[in-house]
Amino acid sequence: MDQRSLEEAVRSSWAVRESQAAKKLIDGKIDTGGRGAVTGGAHLNAMTELLGNVFRDAGFPPDAVRCRSGVELPGYFRPTKKWDLVVLLEGELVAAIELKSHVGPSFGNNFNNRVEEAIGSAADLRRAYDNGLLGRTKPWLGYVLLLEEAPGSVSKGRPRSGTFPIDPAFADTSYLDRYVILCRRLRSAGLYDATCLVTSSRQPDAPIRQPDPEIGYAAFVSAIMARIEEVGVLQKRN
């Protein structure tokens, strides 16, 4: 998958968000902080399909790659949880990928929610597998985050410390910096096998950035390809 495909998917996300927000206004519903653009759903469909095509192009049957509508998988701490992209093969869970976005202006209010969601989703599914709820194959988990580039996300500041000092890694950081730390640590801690952080402003011609190559799109796709090779589905192309 090339950079242009990623850029088109990100721009599609912004376009869908704007159309969903506009529909809320037409319907006479008040939209607080852009929430309507998210709750309308579908704004990350293009990115989900882009990743789904990685599996399809490698030889997975079309019905093995399930996305867009969300696929429920069993949990351990809760009955089920919907994942954005789920890949199955002969009844075994090959991969599950979560896609999230974080758009302003509420960067401070929603950052902890995003962190807790990311950690909780992975921990829940990992424990479900450990307790025999997901078959024999250890699932491969991926996490993708699209962050809006805006003054509130890129401006640096020092988080407030409480009873104990904060981790020095978070001192004088922006929310963008903190998401880089999150994505790197989610992977290093083994909660996810690969993570991806992409940033962009909502302007139509804005560049699509990847702050850290280790958690960039190319590295994420490479990790998917390694997983595909591991399960033996990769087909030779003519």
Structure confidence by residue, pLDDT tens digits, 152-198:
999 999 888 888 999 999 999 999 999 999 999 999 999 999 999 99
Beta bridge partners of 145: 100, 197
Is residue 212 a part of any domain in this protein? yes
Is residue 34 a part of any domain in this protein? no
Q: Show the beta-strand stretches assigned E in the chain.
A: 65-74, 80-89, 92-102, 140-148, 194-200
Q: Which two tokens stand for residue 219?
A: 């590295």
Instruction: Estimate the crossing angle of helix 107-130 against helix 175-188, to 10 degrees.
Output: 10
Quickly list DSSP for 103-160: -SS-HHHHHHHHHHHHHHHHHHHHHHHHTTSS-SSPPEEEEEEEEE-SHHHHS-B-PP
Give the domain extent around 119. Answer: 51-159+167-231
pLDDT at position 67 is 86
Is residue 37 a part of any domain in this protein? no
Is residue 28 a part of any domain in this protein? no
Residue with tokens 């998988």: 73
pLDDT at position 120 is 98
Distance CA 169, CA 161 (A): 13
Is residue 219 a part of any domain in this protein? yes
Is residue 70 a part of any domain in this protein? yes
List the single range of 60-64, 72-76, 111-115, 214-218 with lowest mean pLDDT.
Answer: 60-64
Residue 223's contacts (CB-CB under 8 Å, 6 or more residues apart) are: 142, 193, 194
pLDDT at position 168 is 94
pLDDT at position 41 is 53
Distance CA 118, CA 96 (A): 13
pLDDT at position 36 over 50: no
Is residue 6 a part of any domain in this protein? no
pLDDT at position 114 over 90: yes
Number of domains in the chain: 1
**pTM exceeds cut of 0.95:** no
Is residue 8 a part of any domain in this protein? no
* Biggest CA pair distance of the chain: 61
